[in-house]
Amino acid sequence: MFESATDAHSASTNTIPLRLIGYGRASTAKQSITKDVQLEGITRYCELYGHHLVDFFYDAAKSGKSKQNRGELLEALGLLEAGKANGIVVYKLDRLTRSPKDLFELVENYFKTYTLISVCDQIDTHSANGRLVINILTAVANWEREIIIERTLDSLGAKRVKGQHIGRVGIGYRKTKAGKLEKTPLYDILVDVYRRWNNGSTLLELASELNQKGILTSSKKMWSQQNLWFVLKKIESELISVGLVG
């Protein structure tokens, strides 16, 4: 636990005292912005503005691309939701996240309700100016996300125009250098297996026969009744679509 500065100093700076959770992160052990540097900067900031530092959480050797793999950050956010603090304070905004998408989600889910303070970036969403800055940052993050989506859709559209396959290559097919699908000899084998299954052969018999002949699944594993059924149902759907099965 950390002690806050005096109420007198808080009044002199016209700042409303907040209960804040400090958060720090380092992606490597050799990073110059160490845990001590971050904690000292956060502590001095809280003392200067009369805030109470409730606790400090630190994720070591963690990437800033997503919050999902950072247990300390998730715990800090949990304390916010439990009403233990008014906001989170970080030494620099990139200690919280380096991902525009992650920043957008954090603001949407947490920092429209709770305060976010970045010491070095002079961001304090408790103030109008701070909210303006973070709104600009999240607008840029959202714009970047939409641009990526548009580019992805454009790329997929171009592939469709060229007749190129999009998505996973199914068993019995392979993708050519031109990006199109073509059937392999395995497809004809599976069509024959389907016809025999449709005429009364059991999945156990057919799976055993494939395994005995050394014909493996796409993941190079032995056939089971379950995965053979799954593949044969796909074969059935294809045959129905071209009118070969009623």
- Residues 93, 98: Cα–Cα separation, whole Å: 8
Concatenating the DSSP letter of every residue in 1-50 gives ------HHHHHHTT----EEEEEEEESSTT-SS-HHHHHHHHHHHHHHHT
Left if phi > 0, otherwise alpha if psi is -120 to 50, otherwise beta: which for 50? left
Report how far residue 147's alpha carbon sits from residue 122's, in angstroms, rounded to the nearest whole number: 28
* 32 catalytic residue (yes or no): no
Contacts of 227 (CB under 8 A, 6+ apart): 217
Ordered alpha helix ranges (H), the chain: 7-12, 35-49, 71-81, 93-96, 100-106, 128-161, 185-198, 203-212, 225-241
The tokens 């300390």 sit on which residue?
72
CB distance 169 to 175 below 8 Å:
yes
Please give the Cα distance from 68 to 46 (Å, whole number): 27
Candidates 27, 127, 208, 218; catalytic one = 27
Question: Which residues are known catalytic residues?
Answer: 27
